[in-house]
Chain A
Amino acid sequence: MRKSSKKHSTQLSNKVRLLIFIVLGFLIYLLSNNVDELRVYQGAQVAFYVVGIASIILLTGYSGQVSLGQGALLGVGGYAAALSHLNWKLPIPLTFAVAILAAAGAGALLGIAAARLSGPYLAGATLALAVGLPSIANQFTALGGEQGLFFDVGFPPESLGEEFTQYKWFFWIASLATLIAIFWLQNVMRSRYGRTWKAIRGSEVAAELAGVNIARAKVLAFTLSAGLAGLAGALLAMTIGTVSPSAFPLALSFSLLTGAVLSGVTTLGGVMIGAVTLVALPEIVGTIVNRAGASEAVATNLPHIVMGTLLILTVVFVPNGPVEQMRSRRVKKEKSL
C-alpha cells in the first residue's frame, strides 16, 4: 500500500522542504516568545523526546528491529557530551557531535550483535543492556558515580537581554538541534538506504533476493538510530544540567518506545504526537486528579495506567500509528472515488 501510494504522489523538492523547516523554526521562535518559562522548559523536553522517538522510529519502523535499551544509548550520548565538555572543554555544538559519535559507535557494536538476533532475543538483550549499562557509571570515578557529572551549557548570550531565561535558551538549542536532526533523517529516509530498510521491513527474503546485504543494512540502521539517541541524550543532559545513572532508567527506554508507538513507527510524520503526549499527559492527568481532590499516589499512577492502556490500544487497533492510518484511509477513499 505504501509503495503504491508513493508512486502517484509528488515528492517535495529538498529546497521546499528546507523552506518548510525554516518556517517551522520561525514558528517555534514565535512560540518561545509567547509562553511562560514552564512551557518553554517543557518545549525543550518535547524536543529531546522528538529526537529520541525518531531514533526508535528509524530502528523499529524502518528496519523492523525493536530495542528496549534506547535509554542506555541516550546515556552514552549524555555522558559523552558531559565528559567532553568537562575534560576537553569542548564548545557545546562539538559536545553534541561527540555525543552522536559515541552513541553511534556503541550502536554499531550493538547492531553487529543484533544482526545475529531477532524479535524476542533482541528485545531481551537490549532490555538487559538498559538495566546493566547505567550501573557501569558507579564502577569508574571518572563517570561521577551515582551523583553524576555536571553538564553546563552556560548562560544565554547577554545580547539576548536580561529577560531571556535559561530555559528559553535550552529550548532554542534543543529545537534547532531537533529540526536539523529531523531534516537530516528525512533525507536519509528518502535515500537509497531508506528504500533498502523499507524493503527489508516489507520482506526480508525478497530484499535478500534483490541483492540487499541485510546484515549490513541492519547494522547501519542501528548505528544511525544510536547516533540520534546520543543527540537526544545530550539534549536531555542539557535540560537537567547533569548526567547520572538514575537519569537514564529503564522507564526512559519504555517511555521512548511508548512515544514511538503512539506516533506511529512507520513514518516520521506523527513524531510530535508521541513526544507531546509524553510531556503533556502526566501534567494534564495530574491537574485533573488534583482538582478532583485525589491523592498524590493517584496523580502519579493514573498517567501510567492511561499511557499503558493507550500503548496497548494503539498496538492492537492502529499498529501503524495514527498518521499512517489516516493516510491509508484516504488512499482507500481516493481509490473508491
Chain B
Amino acid sequence: MKSFNRRKLITASAMLAVTAMTVAAVPANAFSPKSEVGVTSKEIKLGVTLPMTGAASPGYNKVPAAMKAYFDYVNANGGVNGRKITLVVKDDQYVPTQAVAKTNELILKDKVFALVSPLGTANNKAVAASVNPGKRGVPVLFVNTGFSGFADSKKYPTTYALLPSYVMEAKIMAEYIKDNFAGKSIGLVYQDDDFGSDALAGFKSAGIKFATTVGYASGSQSASTAAGWVTKLKAANCDVVILFGVSSATAAGLGTAAALKYAPQWILGSVGGDATTIKASGVPAGVLYNAVGASFLPATTDTSDEYVALFQSIYSKAVPGSAFDNNVLVGMNSAFVTVQAIQAAGKNPTRKSLLAAIDSKGSTFASAALIPLNYSKTSHVGYNGYWFGKYSPTGDLKPDGGKYTVYTTDSGSGAVVKSTYKRPAMPAKGLPN
C-alpha cells in the first residue's frame, strides 16, 4: 500500500514538474519570417544582466537606469529609424548560475535582439560557455569587464569588449610611475583574484618592483582590515602606494590611512577610483586630494565637455537626485555606442547586420571617450588607453595640467605610446545621424 502511494507521489510530483514547466510557458512567439528576433516595426528589445542586489551591487546597480535614460532620450527624439529601444534588466546577484539562468530567460523567453553591457568576468565566461551566444548568433555588446579575453573574436565571435583591460591599465600606470616617481619606494594593494593578478602581470611586464604588496581577499575589505594594510605599508616605508581594487577597498584604504595619519602619494586604479562612489561611502572628499587617478572617459565633473554636459542633463531629468558618477557615465556611453551600432546595422537591423556593422564601422563610432574604439573584423578590443590626473581638494579627478594626455597600449607586450587622437565633435544633440 505504502509503496504504491510513493509511486503515485513520484508520478504526481513529476506531473507537477511538467505543469509548472508549461504553465508559465511562453506565449507563442509572433514570429514573422521577415523580422529579426527582438525587432518589431515599433521596438527593438535589448537585455542586460548585472548585480542589482547583493554585495557586489553598489555602484553597478546605477548602470541600467543610466542606460535607460539615454535610450529614452533617443526614443523621445524619434528612436532609431522609428523604433523605440527598450531594455530588459535582470538581476544576477553576481552569481554565474544566476547569470546563465537570467541570460537564458532574456534570449529564450523575452527574446531580446542583443545583450548589452552584461557585467562581471566569471559571469560572462559562464554565459559564453553555457548559453553560447556565439553559436546562437546573439550579439553581446560591450561587456562590462576589464578581462582581456573577451576581445578574442575567434573564441567569442559575437562578443565585444569595451573597457581597456586591467593589463593595459597596469602597463600604462607603470609608465606613469617611471615618468613621475622614479626611484621611489612603491607599495601595491590589489584584490587577490584575477582582477588583481591581471594587474600584477601588467606591472611585472613593465618591470616595476614593489617594496611590499598587500593582496586582500575579495570581500574582506573594511576599515579594520585596511588598518592592517596601512600598518604594513608604513612598515615598508612606501612613498607611493597603488590601490588597485574596487571602490569599497579604495574607500577603506584612504579613509583608514587618513585616520592613521599616513599620507603617501596614492595612485588609484580606474575601477576603484570613482570619486562619487568613494565619497558616498563616508570618506571625506579631502582624503582624495592629490591622489593620482586614471580614466578613459572625460572627468564626470568636466561640464565643459559636451558629452558630459549632455549626459548630465539627460540623467538629472531621468533620475532626479542621483549623483552623476563614473558608473552612470560608462552606462550612458555604452548606450550611446549601442544606438550608433543599431543605426549602422541598417533600416531593418538583424543580428548579422549588427555584428557586421560593428566590425566594419565600429572604429568610427562617436563616443565620449578620449580614445577611439578599435573594432575591426579581426579585433574586438574596445578602448585601449587611459589619461592620468590628480584629484582636486573637492575630490574630483582633473587631468594633469588641465589637458587630457592619453596613453594607449595593448594587453600583450606592446609598448605604451602617447595617443595623438583628437575626439571628433559630438553628433548634433547627442543623437546618431
Q: Do chains A and B touch in the complex (CB under 8 A)?
A: yes
CA distance A301 to B22 in the complex (A): 24
Q: Secondary structure of the A side of the interface?
A: helix
Max chain A Cβ within 10 angstroms of own Cβ: one of B20, B97, B101, B121:
B97
B195 at the interface (CB under 8 A from A): yes
Q: Is B2 an interface residue (CB 8 A)?
A: yes
Distance (Å) between the CB of A167 and the closest chain B CB? 8
Residues of B within 8 A of A252 (CB): 97
Q: How far is the CB of B94 from chain A (nearest CB, A)?
A: 6
Does A332 reach chain B (CB closer than 8 Å)? no
Question: Distance in Å from the Cβ of B408 to the closest Cβ of chain A?
Answer: 25
Would you call A273 an interface residue if the criterion is a C-beta within 8 Å of the partner chain's C-beta atoms?
yes
Interface residues of A in 248-281 (CB under 8 A from B): 249, 251-252, 267, 269-273, 276, 280
B147 with A272: CB separation less than 8 A: no
* Residue among A37, A45, A297 making CB contact with B52, cutoff 8 Å: A297
Flag if A246 contacts B96 (CB, 8 Å): yes
Q: Are B91 and A138 in contact (CB under 8 A)?
A: no
Q: Does A35 lie within 8 Å of B192, measured CB to CB?
A: no
Decide yes or no whether B263 CB sits under 8 A from chain A: no
B289 CB to nearest chain A CB (Å): 32
Tell me if A241 is interfacial: C-beta within 8 Å of chain B: yes
Q: Chain A residues with Cβ under 8 A from B2's Cβ?
A: 5-6, 9, 327
Of all chain B residues, the one with the shortest Cβ separation from A21 is: B10
Known contacts A150-B129, A244-B125, A301-B53; is-contact A296 B13 (Cβ 8 Å): no
Interface size class of A (residues with CB under 8 A): 35 or more
Interface of B (DSSP majority class): helix
Task: Please judge, given known A-B contacts A270-B13, A272-B17, A280-B20, whether A244 and B96 are in contact too, CB under 8 Å.
Answer: yes
Q: Are B18 and A240 in contact (CB under 8 A)?
A: no
Whole-angstrom distance between the Cβ of A110 and the nearest chain B Cβ = 22
Residues facing A in B41-96 (CB within 8 A) are 52-53, 89-91, 93-96
Asked whether B17 lies within 8 Å of A46 as measured between CB atoms, the reply is yes
**Does B30 interact with chain A (Cβ within 8 Å)?**
no
Find chain B residues with CB under 8 A from A6 CB. 2
B2-38 vs A, Cβ < 8 Å mask (1 yes, 0 no): 1101110110011011101111111000000000000
How far apart are the CA atoms of A111 and B96 in the complex, in Å? 29
8 A Cβ contacts from A209-254 to B:
236, 239-242, 244-247, 249, 251-252
CA–CA, A24 to B6, complex, Å?
14
- A271 to B17: give the CA distance in the assembly, Å: 11
B193 in contact (CB, < 8 A) = yes
B377 interfacial contact with A, CB 8 Å? no
B52 → chain A, closest Cβ, in Å?
Answer: 6
Question: Does residue A41 face the partner (Cβ distance < 8 Å to B)?
Answer: yes
B120 closest partner in A (C-beta): A246
Residues of chain A contacted by B123 (CB below 8 angstroms)? 246
Cross-chain contact A146 with B194 (CB below 8 angstroms):
yes
Of B100, B121, B128, B218, the contact of A239 (CB 8 Å cutoff):
B100
The proximity string for A residues 18-32 relative to B, scoring 1 for CB distances below 8 Å and 0 otherwise, is 001000100100010
Question: Is B209 positioned at the interface, with any CB of A under 8 Å from its CB?
Answer: no
Q: Is A330 in the interface zone, CB < 8 Å from B?
A: yes
Within 8 Å of chain B (Cβ to Cβ): is A43? yes
Known: A24-B10, A247-B126, A296-B89. Is A42-B21 also a contact (CB below 8 A)? yes
Q: Is the CB of B13 within 8 A of A36?
A: no
Q: How far is the CB of B36 from chain A (nearest CB, A)?
A: 18
Q: Which of B22, B94, B129, B193 contacts A241 (CB 8 A)?
A: B129
Q: Is the CB of A292 closer than 8 A to any CB of chain B?
A: no
Instruction: Please tell me which one of the listed residues A5, A36, A330 contacts residue B26 in the complex, with CB atoms under 8 A apart.
Output: A36
CB <8 Å contact, B1 and A38:
no
- Inter-chain contact B22/A35, CB cutoff 8 Å: yes
Tell me the complex Cα distance, A269–B4, Å: 11
Can you name 18 A-B residue pairings with CB atoms under 8 Å?
A12-B3, A35-B25, A41-B108, A42-B21, A138-B193, A146-B121, A147-B122, A148-B122, A150-B125, A150-B129, A166-B135, A242-B96, A244-B96, A244-B122, A246-B123, A247-B126, A272-B14, A280-B24
Q: Report the 8 A-B pairs with minimum CB-CB distance, sorted nearest first.
A: A241-B129, A272-B13, A146-B193, A9-B2, A241-B130, A38-B108, A244-B122, A145-B194
Q: Knowing that A9-B3, A10-B1 touch, tell me 8 more A-B residue pairs with CB under 8 angstroms.
A: A12-B3, A20-B10, A37-B108, A135-B217, A147-B121, A148-B126, A240-B100, A269-B13
